[in-house]
Chain A
Amino acid sequence: MEITLSVNGEERTSEVEPRRLLVHHLRDDLGLTGTNVGCDTTSCGACTVLLDGESVKSCTVLAVQADGHDVTTIEGLAATAAGDGDGDGSAGAPLHPMQQAFHAEHGLQCGFCTPGMVMAAVSLLDENPHPTEDEVRVGLEGNLCRCTGYHNIVRAVLAAAGEEVTA
Chain B
Amino acid sequence: MSILGTRVVRVEDPRLLTVGGTYAADVDDPRLAGAIHATYVRSTVAHAEIGAVDLDEARAMPGVVDVVAGDEVDLPPIAGVTNEAMRRPYLARDRVRFVGEPVAVVLTERPEQGPDAAEAVVVDYAPLPAVVDPCDALADDTVLFPEVGTNLVGAFGTPPTADAGGPDASDVVVRQRIVNQRLAACPLEVRSSAATWDLGRLVLWCSTQNAHGLQHAVAAAYGLDRSEVLVVTPDVGGGFGAKIGGHPEDILLGWLSRRCGRPVRWVETRSENMVGMVHGRAQVHDVTIGGRPDGTIEAYHLSIVQDAGAYPNMAAFLPRLTRTMAAGTYAIPTVTSDARVAVTTTTPVASYRGAGRPEATAAIERAVDLFAAEVGLDPAEVRRRNLVPRFDEPHRTASGATYDCGDFPAALDRALAAAGYDELRAEQRRRRAQGDRLALGIGLSTYVEVTSGPRAGSEFAEVEVRDTAGGDGVEVVVATGSSPHGQGLETAFAMLVADEMGVPLDAVRVVHGDTDQVARGVGTFGSRSLQLGGSAVRGAAAEVVDRARRLAADLLEAAPDDVVLDTAAGRFHVAGTPAVGRTWADLVAAAAAGDAGDGAALRAEHDFSTTQPTYPFGAHVAVVEVDTESGDVRLVRHVACDDAGRVLNPLLAEGQRHGGIAQGAAQALYEQVAFDADGNPLTTNFADYAVVSAAELPSFELVDLQTPTWVNPLGAKGIGESGTIGSTPAVHNAVCDAVAHLGVRHIDMPTTPERVWRAIRAAE
- List chain A positions with a Cβ less than 8 A from chain B: 24, 27-28, 33-41, 43-44, 46, 74-75, 77-78, 89, 95, 99, 102-104, 106, 108-115, 118, 133, 136-138, 140-155, 167
Contact = CB atoms under 8 A, between A and B. Distances in A.
B189 A36 contact: yes
B17 A99 contact: yes
Contacts of A43: 685-687, 691
Contact of A140 (B23, B651, B694): B694
B685 A149 contact: no
B695 A151 contact: no
Lowest 9 CB-CB distances: which A-B pairs, in order?
A34-B20, A112-B237, A149-B662, A110-B486, A111-B16, A43-B686, A109-B486, A149-B658, A150-B694
Majority DSSP secondary structure for residues of B touching A: loop
Interface of B: 9-10, 12-14, 16-23, 25-26, 111-112, 186-190, 235-238, 240, 269-271, 485-488, 651-652, 654-655, 658-663, 685-687, 691, 693-695, 697, 699-701, 723
B238 A146 contact: yes
B20 A114 contact: yes
Nearest to B26: A33
Contacts of B237: 36, 38, 110-112
Contacts of A74: 17-20
Contacts of A36: 20, 23, 188-189, 237
A96 to B, nearest CB: 9
A109 B19 contact: no
Contact of B691 (A114, A136, A138, A144): A144
Given A39-B686, A106-B9, A114 B17 contact: yes
B352 to A, nearest CB: 11
A140 to B, nearest CB: 5
A27 B9 CA distance: 29
Contacts of B659: 109, 146-149
Contacts of B16: 108, 111, 114
A140 B658 contact: no
Contacts of A140: 693-695
A138 B695 CA distance: 5
B188 A106 contact: no
A144 B686 contact: yes
B685 A112 contact: no
Given A95-B18, A112-B189, A136 B694 contact: yes
A139 to B, nearest CB: 8
A27 B486 CA distance: 22
Majority DSSP secondary structure for residues of A touching B: loop
B655 A152 contact: yes
Nearest to A99: B17
Given A28-B111, A40-B685, A149-B723, 19 more contacts: A33-B20, A33-B22, A34-B20, A43-B691, A44-B691, A75-B18, A75-B19, A78-B18, A104-B9, A106-B655, A108-B13, A109-B659, A110-B238, A111-B235, A113-B188, A146-B187, A148-B662, A149-B700, A167-B699
Contact of B19 (A34, A40, A44): A34
Greatest chain B CB density within 10 A among A89, A137, A149 is at A149
Contacts of B488: 109
27 contacts: A33-B20, A40-B269, A41-B270, A75-B20, A89-B18, A103-B10, A106-B9, A108-B16, A110-B238, A111-B235, A111-B237, A113-B188, A138-B695, A141-B693, A142-B693, A146-B188, A146-B663, A147-B188, A147-B238, A147-B659, A149-B660, A149-B697, A149-B723, A150-B662, A150-B693, A151-B658, A151-B700
A112 B243 CA distance: 15
